[in-house]
């Protein structure tokens, strides 16, 4: 039973540390995860898993030798931390409502079709008060749902390494 408690405790700590690292470095590292079916798991983890992981840390912090005052203090601190994690989860999810999406593929690298130059659009859903923001980015697809993004100036690329991708007439903006 002691081994199971330690396993639950360290698994919970690992999950919390991973979430914090992803949240902190997600803004710095230009690696993106396409939110879709895999994003549902992420949202479920943020809303339920993170708080559960915080609560499961009690398996390693509560000791038989703790007096009632220390025991209730540890439980109260853990519950407050779980509520703080819930608050941060809401902030994280709502701050991500405005997101980037690929509008069109402009170029593909000749010898690596998984590397593209795309026109990206940042929109905020049904917010009609602001116009979308556009930028040109180089995208390296690691998997279909995980990719590396870097802003790029198309006037500076070596055209011999890239082939232009024609945009179908049906996808072009009306004039």
Instruction: For residue range 33-91, list pLDDT tens digits in order.
Output: 665 544 455 566 666 777 788 888 877 887 888 888 988 888 898 888 888 877 877 77
Strands (DSSP E) along 58-174, which ranges?
99-109, 112-123, 133-141, 146-151, 162-164
Q: In sequence order, what are the residues at sequence separation of 6 or more whose Cβ sits closer than 8 angstroms to the Cβ of residue 76?
A: none
Question: What does the pLDDT average to over 128-132?
Answer: 68
What is the rounded CA–CA span in Å between residue 24 and residue 20?
6
0.85 surpassed by pTM: no
Q: What mean pLDDT is reported for the chain?
A: 78
Q: Which helix (H) or strand (E) holds 153?
A: none
Q: In this structure, are residues 75 and 58 in contact, taking their beta carbons and an 8 Å threshold?
A: yes
What is the rounded CA–CA span in Å between residue 103 and residue 171?
9
Q: What percent of the chain has pLDDT over 70?
A: 75
Q: Which helix (H) or strand (E) holds 173?
A: none
**Residue 100's beta-bridge partner residues?**
122
Q: Does 11 score more than 80 pLDDT? A: yes
| Of 112, 92, 114, 102, nearest in space to 43 by CA | 92
What is the rounded CA–CA span in Å between residue 33 and residue 43?
12
Q: Which helix (H) or strand (E) holds 73?
A: helix 68-95
Q: What percent of the chain has pLDDT over 90?
A: 4
Tell me which of 29 and 41 has the higher pLDDT.
29
Tokens of 87: 């608050």
Residues 98-108 as b or e (16 or more Cβ within 10 Å = b): eebeebeebbb
Q: Does 132 score more than 80 pLDDT? A: no
pLDDT confidence band for 108 (50 / 70 / 90): very high
- The residue extents of the domains of the chain are 2-95, 99-171
Q: Does 128 score more than 70 pLDDT? A: no
Q: In this structure, are residues 54 and 16 in contact, taking their beta carbons and an 8 Å threshold?
A: yes
Question: What does the pLDDT average to over 6-33?
Answer: 77
pLDDT in tens, 53-69: 888 887 788 788 888 89
Question: What does the pLDDT average to over 144-165?
Answer: 86
């Amino acid at each position: 039973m002691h081994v199971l408690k330690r396993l639950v405790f360290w698994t919970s700590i690992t999950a919390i540390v991973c979430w914090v690292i992803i949240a902190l470095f997600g803004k710095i590292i230009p690696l993106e995860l396409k939110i879709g079916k895999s994003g549902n798991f992420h949202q479920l983890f943020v809303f339920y898993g993170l708080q559960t992981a915080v609560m499961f840390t009690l398996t390693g912090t509560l000791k038989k030798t703790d007096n009632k005052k220390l025991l209730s203090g540890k439980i109260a601190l853990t519950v407050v931390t779980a509520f703080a994690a819930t608050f941060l989860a809401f902030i994280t999810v709502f701050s991500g409502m405005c997101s980037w999406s690929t509008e069109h593929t402009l170029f593909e690298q000749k010898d690596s079709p998984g590397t593209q130059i795309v026109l990206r659009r940042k929109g905020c859903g049904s917010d009609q008060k602001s116009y979308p923001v556009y930028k040109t980015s180089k995208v390296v697809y690691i998997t279909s749902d995980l990719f590396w993004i870097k802003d790029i100036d198309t006037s500076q690329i070596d055209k011999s390494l890239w082939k232009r991708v024609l945009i179908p007439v049906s996808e072009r903006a009306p004039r």
